[in-house]
A = this chain, B = another copy of it.
Amino acid sequence: MRFASDNTSGAAPEVMAAILKANEGYESSYGADAGMQRVTDLIHDIFEAPEAAVYLVATGTAANALSIATHCPPWGGVFCHRHAHIAEDECNAPEFYSGAKLVLVPGDHGKMTPAGLGAALSTTGESGVHGVQRGMLSLTNVTEAGTVYTAAEIAALTAMAKAKGIPCHLDGSRFANALVATGATPAGMTWKAGIDVLSLGGTKNGCLGVEAVVLFNPEKAWEFELRRKRGGHLFSKHRFLSAQMEAYLTDGLWLRLAAQANAMGQRLARGLRERQAQVPEAAANMLFPEWSVGHHDRLEAAGAVYYRFPAPEGRERARLVASWSTTDADVDTFLNAF
């Protein structure tokens, strides 16, 4: 009954096997390993983007902060949802790396709307040097609220950003889950939908610690490399990052793992709804149902592990996250305890 986060799961067996295999012999360091070339080829192929520049780092915060710093000047504003991970959960890392400012866009269920983004875009950067300039757009998919943007929704938002001349980032720490939930293709949800740079998550979905940054426009590739090194995020034994990502992307493993996580998230949602719990929209592997404090306490006493947040009227909201390693039995045990 461990539903605290998908990062409390371990790594998938295929990824572990790749790590073991990568350990054989000597290998060039700092990204010059043969495995990295294979990762790049895989991403070129999967994303139908043969020109993209691809880099690996070990944390999602690094992937996001470096992506933003490479695309937004220090006097720019990064338009993001008010509850975005970059706004609430990265201890100002994006600002540290970029010098930029986050411009918070409202929106229900973790999603910004065209109207919300439009308002932010039109009131920012209109006072000469005095105010923050329009810098870039950063979307998150799966969102922090467990909802998803369709590729069309992303395209609609990026079009508004592009009309103002600013680039677009997608925080895809749960990108595979978003693909599975929407049926979009990797290209369809990214560069075909106006995304310039993607944080492609591996850690939460079956790796030990690896995220790719995909620069669909490789113009800033060298700058990215320098920023990665300057941030201390270039691994000497880089082969161990490459090995994870290669295994993850090979033969659709990443999508199979995400499909399992999503299926378990949906099974949980269905089960809770059948039990009369109030479960807001949840498209992937993460849900935020709400019930009484007393009921929370009983579940914890029964061994359930998850995050609890204050809610009105003596209730609390749960954050329940399924992962690639969550089983039917795990879900059913929880539902029975419920």
Where the two chains meet, the residues of A that have a C-beta atom closer than 8 Å to any C-beta of B are: 2, 4-5, 7-11, 16, 19-20, 22-30, 57-66, 73-75, 88-93, 95-97, 99-102, 104, 127-133, 203-204, 208-209, 223, 225-237, 239-240, 305
> Of B88, B100, B232, which is within 8 A of A93 by CB?
B232
- Closest chain B residue, CB of each to CB of A89: B130
Residues of B within 8 A of A63 (CB): 232
Residues of B within 8 A of A16 (CB): 19-20, 23
Are the C-beta atoms of B29 and A89 separated by less than 8 Å?
no
Are the C-beta atoms of A88 and B131 separated by less than 8 Å?
yes
Are the C-beta atoms of A236 and B96 separated by less than 8 Å?
no
Q: Which of A22, A28, A237 has the most chain B CB atoms inside 10 A of its CB?
A: A237
- Docked pose: A28 CA to B16 CA in angstroms: 19
CB distance from A115 to the nearest CB of B (A): 15
Are the C-beta atoms of B75 and A226 separated by less than 8 Å?
yes
CB distance from A21 to the nearest CB of B (A): 10
The verdict on A95 contacting B101 (CB below 8 Å), with A232-B59, A237-B203 known, is yes
With A10-B27, A59-B234, A66-B232 given, can you name 13 additional A-B contacts, CB distance below 8 Å? Answer: A7-B29, A16-B20, A58-B58, A59-B235, A74-B96, A93-B229, A93-B231, A95-B101, A96-B99, A97-B232, A133-B226, A209-B237, A231-B232
